[in-house]
Structure 1
Amino acid sequence: MFLEAIIVTIPLISMITSLFVEKKVYAKISTLFTGIAFLLSLYVLIFTNKEGSLFFLRFDGLGALLTSYILFVSLVIHKYSENYMKDEQGFKRYFFLLDLMTWNLLLLVLSNHLIILFASWHLMGVILYFLLTFNNRREHAVQAGRTALFTHRIADVPLLVAIVLLYKQYGTFEISKLAQMITTGPLDTVWIATLLVMLSGIIKSAQIPFHIWLVYSMEGPTPVSALMHAGIVNAGAFIVNRFAFMFPHDLYGLSFSFLIGIITAIVGSTLMLMQNDVKKALGYSTVGQMGYMMMEIGVGAFALALYHMMAHGIFKATLFLSSGGVIHEARRDTNIPRDEVYDALVKKEVSKKEVPTVFYGAITLLIPLVLVLVAHFAFEQDVFRYKAPLILLFFGWVTSAQILLNLFKIGKEKPLLTAFLGVVSLFVLLSVYVLMSHLLQTFVFPYEGLQEKIYERAFSNVPLFFLSIVLSLILALAGWTLIYFANKEKPLKIHLSLYAHLSRELYFPDIYKLIGRFFLRLVRILSIASFSAMPVYGFFHIGEPSGSFPVQALLLAFFIPLFPISLITSYLIRRFWIYSYPLIALLGFMALVFIHIPTYEPLYYLAGFTLLFHSVRAILSEGFKDSISELYPALLSMVWISEENHFVLLLLPSLLFYLLGVYARRLLQTDSFYYAGGLMEKMPIYSLLLVIASLQASLTPLMPSFYSFFETLLKSNVFQMILLVMGWFVLGVAIALSAWRLLHGRPRDDIHYIDLLRR
């Protein structure tokens, strides 16, 4: 266990060295440390077969395999970035974030504690935001980073709810103990947790319609794109494999994954063909591949999805790292040939063929089917024992036929030689695919027989799988038919309109913009108290009250404000924030010393509503005083639900914002989030403190404020949990939209920036 502990610690040591060395030296040290960690992980993977635990970490087959994979990808990106990023401003910050992401991913795959797992799952989106916004002067990069952050926070919600439900049912945060308890004595409600875990993985793996964050995140540095496509977007395969012990009891999660995977694979691959931008085409290619990966998960082939994740990740990282050279070469060449899809669908240009179409049809349909069957029989004789391999055979056949069809287009001058080389290559590819799937089953699954149980459960919903297969077959045949008629002298009239819709990416970006505008309009409506007061009175009638309304609650509500009294507190802080905030906070602390919080069920609902209501209003914050006026009642509302007094922990985020706001007002002569920009560039220490305060305010896992929030979730019922989780999500969105505006953009020429501790 000593080596395993060192592997996890090495990225932390690398980050610490950044404080003492020059930026170019730190880049080389960071690469060296990552290489050492990779070699150690490879030694553990190959020569150590024992499972073990250390504190909150667990070193099993899945963790050891993915540790080596993560460190290998990170090492390649580190080495590439040394030269690629050397002239960029913030060179040291980039390598620090790269080390931080590596360490966070190691914690994710090795965690044996549900809270640590969720913290790493959540922080993955936060760190990705800062990597994508590395070029913080570019508005498109900042917007792409926000889209990625919001999408990842949406994905955090179902996993958080699943963890709360699992702890309530089994009373443990340790994943290994949870696996034993579910294996020996599962409850009837396990399927809810499996569905939530699957939904979280689907969203983070850029499945339709949550794929925009991946495709439009190309404004970040090219190595960041490589890291994102090689590791981060593959998170769905990991999270499902980590909770594989629950899926023998699943009802809907596997079927849902299969259906969404089919749609994503077809739509993503189709939209990839329509792109004339190299990086965007690679982005949609990844979306399509993630669809295939979720299809494999849907049929129960978890180990195959894991191999798909690693093989595709290494391949796509290589493509992204070489895409820069392709772009530079294209800029020098003005005679770029038109895309074949454009020629076929718009220009109606027909390519000359020397071989009849019947020959192509026979080769592309019959030979791949034979190859797929031979490859499976060679390495897995009981291929027809379960239905899952049959589904994979079908899609392997369709995909292989498409590959050969494209090969014939390239080598139509020598069709026989092209057919021979394509057949051999395809057989090798399929053989490795099947072999790795078979080997990984015994390597990553926690106990024998789990794969068979998952296969059986995957096909318990036969009508949905049959419908999905028929739908995919119809779409594949329709695509081949359109391609066939596109080469005729009189193509179908549908081609031009189809090309128009596909070239607009099926209007997904436009839909996202409309949703964003609608959300902001809805926030403005809900922020008006008169519209929001009506549901509050309904909360008082939910459930049976424990007694008459306690009078001390009314008195305490003036100091630890609940809606609608919280509106008064919010107004006072906004109006006299420098003078009123310390007094209000002091009065709240003194009130808790002398007045005991009563146990009254309707107050719990009111507290949850207060969190949600003021989190919504915080989205419209334009400065520190507006933000503090909403943060104070939003966070302190959870004091009413917590069994223990967490007043100081919940007060800390708004207190940090207050101090930072006072400093900004003294320096910039305003507390507005819109007045100044570029603080990350001009005031790095201040920006770091602002980020820490923001993470505290948004209840980020492992921050002190999250402890109180999670404890509140554990003692809440279903309706209270809905209110609290919605408030948690909206609060994070509000902080990212408001306070982090100061970090990005171009610094103003008329402001003399003075950083903390630098005079």
Structure 2
Amino acid sequence: MVIELIILISPLLSIITSLFLEKRHYSKVSTILTGIAFFLSLYVLLFANKESSFIFFKFDGLGTLLASYILLVSLVIHKYSENYMKDEQGLKRYFILLDLMTWNLLTLVLSNHLLVLFASWHLMGVILYFLLTFNNRREQAVESGRLALFTHRLADVPLLIAVFLLYKQHGTFEISKLAQVITTESSDTLWIPTLLIILSGIIKSAQIPFHVWLVYSMEGPTPVSALMHAGIVNAGSIIVSKFSFLFAYDLYGLSLSFLVGIITAVLGSTLMLIQNDVKRALGYSTVGQMGYMMMEVGVGAFALAIYHMMAHGIFKATLFLSSGGVIHEARRDPNIPRDEVYDALIKKEEPYKDTPTLFYGAISLLVPLLLVLITHYIFEPDFFKYQAPLILLFFGWITSAQVLLNLFKVGREKPRLTAFLGIVSLFVFLSIYVFMSLLLKGLVFPYEGLQEKVYERAFSNPVLLVLGIAISLILVLVGWILIYFANREEPVKVHLSLYAHLSRELYFPDLYKLIGEGFMKIARILAFTSFSALSVYGIFYTGEPLKNFPLEAFILAFFIPLFPISLITSYLIRRFWIYSYPLVVLLGVISLAFIRIPENEFLYYLASFTLLFHSLRAVLSQSFKEGISELYPALLSLIWLSKEEAHFIFLLLPSALLYLLGIYTKRMLHTDSFYYVGGLMEKIPIYSLLLVMASLQACLTPLMPSFYSFFDTLLKANVIQATLLITGWFLLGAAIALSVWRPLHGLPREDINYTDFMRR
């Protein structure tokens, strides 16, 4: 138990040492503590004979394996960063964030509590945002960080709904108890959480069309890119494996994972070939590999997906850590390397004529097929019993054929030796691949018969099975045809057009830009057009006459604001924020002391809409006074839904903290604008830390007190109310990232005298 506790808290101990050490010494201590945690986790993995649990965490076989993998990658990145980042400003902040991300990933894989799991899933995106915006003076780094944060918060929504449904149906947050209940009692509605979990994994694992955040997040330090590609983007297979016991009852989730995975694998790998930027090419390579990983999930091969994740993660981390040297070397070399894809598609350069195409083609197709069948038959003969895993044989065959063909192209001078070495290497590789899948199966599927049930559920719908195979065959055949005609003297004219579209990355970045601009335009229209709000207000009218509404509800709505009275409260705070906010809060406290929240269905719908409406307006906030004027009615509307006056202090706290920080900004910097001032993270780090903590409270971040009020409210809501609440929760996070965190980044102004709390 002591060893497991040390493993879990080592990153936190490292953060604590940062308070007492200089940045150079702290980086070394951080690396040492990470190394100690890794070797301890390896000891537990190899020599511990039983599972151990404490508080909200459980050290089982899968959790300990993933913890060892995470700590290994983190140790390598820590050691590399000691030298790579030594001259960077903000070195201590970087290592604190690195330790925080390591701890968060450990809690993700070791958690045995639904809310702790969801908190780790959510905080992954928040910590990643600050890692990607480490170079906070670069606008492109800030924009890529925001895109990553929005995408990850979008991925949080399906998992939040799944956690809500699982707890509401089974009444427990403990994952191990949930597994016992579900494996003994079947349910017809469990396919909904499995579909939501798959959808959450698809978004966070950079599957198309949600891949842009990964490819365009290269403005962060190179070690951050290595950590992101080796650990964070692999979250899809981790979350699915954590809930593997649910997928014995799945209907559509696994099929969706396979279809999206195959499209992502092909398009990601194709777009990788077009890139002329090393890091972006590696990014698209990861997108393609994550597509393969989700395909493996889709056919029920969760153990294979875990092995794929670890093997690819270590490999890709090494590539990213080496890419910095490649980039520096390329900058010193005036010669531009030739682009083979450009030569094939545009210049139409002919290949070598001495290649016996028919002979190599036959070997490339027949030998890999035999190797794939032999290795699976030796290590896992039961594999052939199930319909879905047979698709893996097909892709194993195609991939192996491509590998062997490329080996022949490289070794034209000694074709026989190349063929022999290629076949032996391929057999060894396939054997390890299948053996590791078999070895990890007991960790991913701890219950007897669970693997077989998942295999049976994968592609239980024959239509989806045929569709998946058809898409894969069409994409592979189209690729082969294009390659064949690219080498002819009269090539197909489509190549130039195809290259043009692929070079624009199939217009996904342009589409994202249009969506962002459209969202902001719609937000402005809805936020400042009262007619749109009133129309939605009328939708939720239940037909109950106004005369039946309790009088105390109208009185209370002035101080615990409800729409449309909340517009008056919002205006008063915006207009006289320094003086009116304390008065509004005082009247709210007094009103709750003497007036009980009435029971009225219409008021509950109205409170749900109030949260959504003012969260949308908060997205457009440009100053502290505007942000506080929207956060106050948005958060306090939850009191009407929870019917708990005791939640008042937790829901008031975020806007109160931002009010105090806003006053400090106004007095010291002579402005409360989010746009005028910049560079706060660089100039006043203690103030920036407090601002981040207050804003995380405001956007109802898990593990913050305000979140529990929100989740308690969510449990009491019906479907429509829950939809409005979750949408409002998402918009609050967007508002914080777009407005409150804006002054943290950018160039400090020369006309402002920055003064931190502890430096006055």
Q: Equivalent residue for 1:705? A: 706
Q: Equivalent residue for 2:668? A: 667
Q: Equivalent residue for 1:744? A: 745
Q: Equivalent residue for 2:143? A: 143
Question: What pairs with 1:63-74 in structure 2 (closer than 5 Å)?
Answer: 63-74=63-74
**What SS does the corresponding residue of 2:161 show, helix, strand or coil?**
helix
**What SS does the corresponding residue of 2:89 show, helix, strand or coil?**
coil
User: What displacement does 1:550 show?
Assistant: 1.1
Checking the alignment, whether the CA contact within 8 Å between 1:257 and 1:298 is kept in structure 2 is: yes
Hey, what's the Cα distance between the residues in 2 that align with 1:445 and 1:439? 11
Q: Equivalent residue for 1:442? A: 442
Hey, what's the Cα distance between the residues in 1 that align with 2:669 and 2:353? 71
Q: Equivalent residue for 1:378? A: 378
Q: Equivalent residue for 1:512? A: 512
Deviation readout 1:277-322 (Å, 9 max, x if unpaired): 1100000000000000000000000100010010000000000000
User: What displacement does 1:410 show?
Assistant: 2.2
Give the letter aligned to residue 537 of structure 2.
V
User: What displacement does 1:237 show?
Assistant: 0.3
Give the letter aligned to residue 339 of structure 1.
D
Higher mean C-alpha deviation, range 407-416 or range 396-405: 407-416
Higher mean C-alpha deviation, range 361-370 or range 151-160: 361-370
User: What displacement does 1:375 show?
Assistant: 1.2
**What SS does the corresponding residue of 1:673 show, helix, strand or coil?**
coil
User: What displacement does 1:411 show?
Assistant: 2.3
Q: Does residue 1:725 correspond to 2:726, yes or no? A: yes
Give the letter aligned to residue 258 of structure 1.
F
**What SS does the corresponding residue of 1:58 show, helix, strand or coil?**
strand
Q: Equivalent residue for 2:225? A: 225
Give the letter aligned to residue 42 of structure 1.
L
Q: Does residue 1:272 correspond to 2:289, yes or no? A: no
Hey, what's the Cα distance between the residues in 2 that align with 1:463 and 1:194? 20
Question: What pairs with 1:480-629 in structure 2 (closer than 5 Å)?
Answer: 480-527=480-527, 528-541=529-542, 548-629=548-629
User: What displacement does 1:336 show?
Assistant: 2.8
Q: Equivalent residue for 2:409? A: 409
Q: Equivalent residue for 1:112? A: 112
Higher mean C-alpha deviation, range 443-452 or range 319-328: 443-452
Give the letter aligned to residue 540 of structure 2.
F
RMSD value, Cα: 1.2
**What SS does the corresponding residue of 1:388 show, helix, strand or coil?**
coil
Hey, what's the Cα distance between the residues in 2 that align with 1:669 and 1:578? 14
Hey, what's the Cα distance between the residues in 2 that align with 1:392 and 1:219? 36
Question: What pairs with 1:192-231 in structure 2 (closer than 5 Å)?
Answer: 192-231=192-231
Hey, what's the Cα distance between the residues in 1 that align with 2:667 and 2:186? 59
Q: Equivalent residue for 2:694? A: 693
Deviation readout 1:497-537 (Å, 9 max, x if unpaired): 00100010000000000000100000011102222111112
Deviation readout 1:640-663 (Å, 9 max, x if unpaired): 011321111101010011101111
**What SS does the corresponding residue of 1:754 show, helix, strand or coil?**
coil
Hey, what's the Cα distance between the residues in 2 that align with 1:546 and 1:300? 55
Hey, what's the Cα distance between the residues in 2 that align with 1:37 and 1:353? 56
Checking the alignment, whether the CA contact within 8 Å between 2:73 and 2:230 is kept in structure 1 is: yes
Checking the alignment, whether the CA contact within 8 Å between 2:274 and 2:341 is kept in structure 1 is: yes
User: What displacement does 1:404 show?
Assistant: 1.8
**TM-score normalised according to structure 1 size:** 0.99
Checking the alignment, whether the CA contact within 8 Å between 1:269 and 1:288 is kept in structure 2 is: yes
User: What displacement does 1:547 show?
Assistant: 9.9
User: What displacement does 1:415 show?
Assistant: 2.4
Q: Equivalent residue for 1:248? A: 248
Deviation readout 1:548-602 (Å, 9 max, x if unpaired): 2111101110111100000000000010000100000110110000000001111
User: What displacement does 1:458 show?
Assistant: 0.7
Hey, what's the Cα distance between the residues in 1 that align with 2:218 and 2:477? 33
Checking the alignment, whether the CA contact within 8 Å between 1:546 and 1:601 is kept in structure 2 is: no
Hey, what's the Cα distance between the residues in 1 that align with 2:502 and 2:688? 42
Hey, what's the Cα distance between the residues in 1 that align with 2:628 and 2:186? 45
Give the letter aligned to residue 742 of structure 2.
R
Checking the alignment, whether the CA contact within 8 Å between 1:222 and 1:324 is kept in structure 2 is: yes
Checking the alignment, whether the CA contact within 8 Å between 2:237 and 2:294 is kept in structure 1 is: yes
User: What displacement does 1:57 show?
Assistant: 0.6
Hey, what's the Cα distance between the residues in 2 that align with 1:267 and 1:217? 19
User: What displacement does 1:417 show?
Assistant: 2.3
Q: Does residue 1:633 correspond to 2:633, yes or no? A: yes
Q: Equivalent residue for 1:58? A: 58
Q: Equivalent residue for 1:336? A: 336
Question: What pairs with 1:92-107 in structure 2 (closer than 5 Å)?
Answer: 92-107=92-107
Alignment coverage as a number of residue pairs: 758
**What SS does the corresponding residue of 1:558 show, helix, strand or coil?**
helix
Deviation readout 1:635-694 (Å, 9 max, x if unpaired): 000010113211111010100111011110111111101111000000000000100011
Give the letter aligned to residue 665 of structure 1.
K
Hey, what's the Cα distance between the residues in 2 that align with 1:136 and 1:359? 56
Q: Equivalent residue for 1:84? A: 84
Q: Any stretches of 5+ residues in structure 2 without a counterpart?
A: none
Checking the alignment, whether the CA contact within 8 Å between 1:301 and 1:388 is kept in structure 2 is: no
Q: Equivalent residue for 2:754? A: 753
Q: Any stretches of 5+ residues in structure 1 without a counterpart?
A: none
**What SS does the corresponding residue of 2:208 show, helix, strand or coil?**
coil
Q: Equivalent residue for 2:391? A: 391
Q: Equivalent residue for 2:651? A: 650
Identity of aligned pairs, percent?
Answer: 75
Give the letter aligned to residue 22 of structure 2.
E
Checking the alignment, whether the CA contact within 8 Å between 1:230 and 1:313 is kept in structure 2 is: yes
Hey, what's the Cα distance between the residues in 2 that align with 1:337 and 1:351? 18
Give the letter aligned to residue 138 of structure 1.
R
Give the letter aligned to residue 291 of structure 2.
G
Q: Equivalent residue for 1:459? A: 459
Give the letter aligned to residue 729 of structure 2.
W
Higher mean C-alpha deviation, range 189-198 or range 372-381: 372-381
User: What displacement does 1:332 show?
Assistant: 1.6
Checking the alignment, whether the CA contact within 8 Å between 1:354 and 1:413 is kept in structure 2 is: no
Higher mean C-alpha deviation, range 455-464 or range 735-744: 455-464
Hey, what's the Cα distance between the residues in 2 that align with 1:565 and 1:89? 48
User: What displacement does 1:389 show?
Assistant: 2.9
Hey, what's the Cα distance between the residues in 1 that align with 2:269 and 2:395? 14
**What SS does the corresponding residue of 2:642 show, helix, strand or coil?**
coil
Checking the alignment, whether the CA contact within 8 Å between 2:244 and 2:444 is kept in structure 1 is: no
Question: What pairs with 1:43-54 in structure 2 (closer than 5 Å)?
Answer: 43-54=43-54
**What SS does the corresponding residue of 1:53 show, helix, strand or coil?**
strand
Q: Equivalent residue for 2:685? A: 684
Q: Equivalent residue for 2:471? A: 471
Hey, what's the Cα distance between the residues in 2 that align with 1:702 and 1:402? 48
**TM-score normalised according to structure 2 size:** 0.99
User: What displacement does 1:429 show?
Assistant: 1.0
Higher mean C-alpha deviation, range 248-257 or range 365-374: 365-374
Checking the alignment, whether the CA contact within 8 Å between 2:208 and 2:264 is kept in structure 1 is: yes
Hey, what's the Cα distance between the residues in 2 that align with 1:494 and 1:452? 45
Hey, what's the Cα distance between the residues in 2 that align with 1:390 and 1:187? 28
**What SS does the corresponding residue of 2:136 show, helix, strand or coil?**
coil
